[in-house]
Amino acid sequence: MASTKTFKLNTGADIPALGLGTWQGDPTLLKDAVITALKAGYRLIDTAYCYGNEEHVGAALKEAFDQGIVKREEVFVVTKLWATYTSRAEEGLEKSLKNLGLGWVDLFLVHWPLLMNPEGNDDKFPKLPNGERDILRDYSHIQIWKNMEKLVESGKTKAIGVSNYSKRYLEELLPHATIVPAVNQIENHPQLPQQEIVDFCKEKGIHIMAYSPFGSTGSPVTSAEPVVKIAEKHGVKPTTVLLSYHLARGSTVLPKSTNPERIKANAELIELDAEDQKLLSEYSEGLVKEGKLCRYVYPPFGVDFGFPDKS
């Protein structure tokens, strides 16, 4: 079900419901992982300049194309503009295309809405003498989006979007946007439903892509009582329930793994019924009321991005 299901973007393009996430993927295993995923039916691969693995993803795609496993137009490739390149989006996109060995990507996202010093002491993580991130705090995220909009005419990305955008940041951005973001990629799972963002994006025609659907390594999301209960009911693993949760919400989900068996297992999703969805919603709502939401990915930028649990 998951490997063939798609959603419609505001550009008119179809985006797969299931994608392979590659963040923190072991580079020595990543090429084989991407090929395994494509053979298992995945048709979306998500990477980023900051991950330092675009070359490995590119090598896997080339091999898959050369062997006839898939054609280029059958794979939805996503990468992201890193924070040291947000003032020079064209250069950032060119670097990613070169790394990937591609003439175009299907979706290019603003990775985080800020500018780190492009002339700082490191290409990806420039720091100040006191060890803090070297951030140009007067550079507007609205200007970052204006830089992104210029890329669409080139044909080098079919669509543009954002990542890690709160409702507040989107409300600031949209009145100034000529192009509405096609996607907002956010951390999303029952312990961090971010319902206010999901609902707002739905209203504005912005598709949600969910990363870290299991929380993080060793996180308690997989052992949460309602997740386990639903898994037992359907005779599946808790991870299957957590991935299926996003399909029920109309979102694309990005499980990450370099383990061949897990990659295949993550593609075997189920349809959650109304009772399942209610159980998970009530669990999430309870955490919101108790102030017990868990956000597992939040780099130490020292910036208030407008998320209620972090503001």
Taking a C-beta distance cutoff of 8 angstroms, is the pair 2, 18 a contact?
yes
Q: Does the annotation mark 51 as catalytic?
A: yes
Of the candidates 184, 197, 21, 8, the one whose C-alpha atom is nearest the C-alpha of residue 111 is 184
Between CA 179 and CA 10 the distance in angstroms is 10
In the chain, what's the furthest Cα-to-Cα distance?
55
Cα angle: 59, vertex 62, 66; to 5 degrees: 140
Of the candidates 40, 7, 60, 2, the one whose C-alpha atom is nearest the C-alpha of residue 206 is 7
Taking a C-beta distance cutoff of 8 angstroms, is the pair 208, 183 a contact?
yes
DSSP symbol at 74: G
Q: Could you say which of 51, 165, 211, 245 is catalytic? A: 51
What are phi and psi for residue 147, nearest 5 degrees?
-65, -40
Ligand-binding site membership of 189 (annotated): no
Between CA 43 and CA 187 the distance in angstroms is 21
- Beta-sheet strands, E only, within the chain: 6-8, 14-16, 20-21, 44-46, 76-81, 107-110, 160-163, 183-187, 207-211, 252-254
Cα angle: 34, vertex 36, 37; to 5 degrees: 65
Burial class (CB in 10 A: 0-12, 13-18, 19+), 73: exposed
Mark the binding-site residues, compressed into ranges: 111
Mark the binding-site residues for substrate, compressed into ranges: 111
| Enzyme catalytic residues | 51
